[in-house]
Amino acid sequence: MLNGRYAAVGMLGIVLSVITMNQGRAAHIFTMPSIPTSGSCILGDIMEEKKCTKCGEVKPSSCFSKDRKLRSGLMSRCKKCMSAYFKVWYATNKNSPEWVARKRLRGERRREHTLRKFGLTSATYDALLEKQKGVCAICKKPEEAERKGRVFNLAVDHNHRTGKIRGLLCCRCNRLLGRIENNPDWLAQALEYLEKERRR
């Protein structure tokens, strides 16, 4: 039974190799799976391997990122080598004017993409922000939440049923409003809890 499964896998590898060669693409290399041990592949799996041009190791295709520009469909360097390369590159170029400008442009495009989901543009968002004087529509305070030293923009609040824009909220008020909207009884329970505490 075991030999039969290996024979079937081997024939499948030959057929796939012939098909890829006939289509004018480079033939893929298929290796027969070994008998499973701790941490090995499941018996019957077909593994495609590729040699990394940086470290020189032959690794499974899962160790390489995809690249449609290349005939093989995989990058020439493995993920581990690419990760090490980008760490060195980023440490060297993170403060360069070109990289800073690129990050700023990427942030602007991400913001525009998010606003389009609400039917807004940067101009209409800025107009709404100016109308609210740059603060949250509920607590009347500026946004304080930040990540990696960058303060978040006020979130766009909208009616989930009609899609109508209601205003701009800070992260804290936006989360609280979402909880109340999804569970109206929660607000009454919270007020009751605070009232009991006040009477003690």
Are residues 63 and 129 both part of a single domain?
no
pTM of the model: 0.47
Are residues 130 and 81 both part of a single domain?
no
Are residues 181 and 147 both part of a single domain?
yes
Own/partner pairs, 35-44, CB within 8 angstroms, 24+ separation: 43/5, 44/5, 44/9
Q: Which of 58, 90, 122 is the last residue of a domain?
A: 90
Band of pLDDT at residue 118, cut at 50, 70 and 90: confident
Confidence check: pLDDT of 33 > 60 = no
- The DSSP 8-state label assigned to residue 106 in this structure reads H
Q: Give the residue numbers spanning the domain of 84.
A: 2-90
Q: Has residue 103 been placed in a domain?
A: no
Confidence check: pLDDT of 63 > 90 = yes
Distance from C-alpha of 49 to C-alpha of 62, rounded to nearest angstrom: 9
Are residues 13 and 71 both part of a single domain?
yes
Confidence check: pLDDT of 151 > 70 = yes
Q: Which of 55, 90, 125 is the last residue of a domain?
A: 90
Number of domains in the chain: 2
Q: Please name every residue paired with 47 in a beta bridge, in sequence order, or none if there are none.
A: 31
Are residues 13 and 81 both part of a single domain?
yes
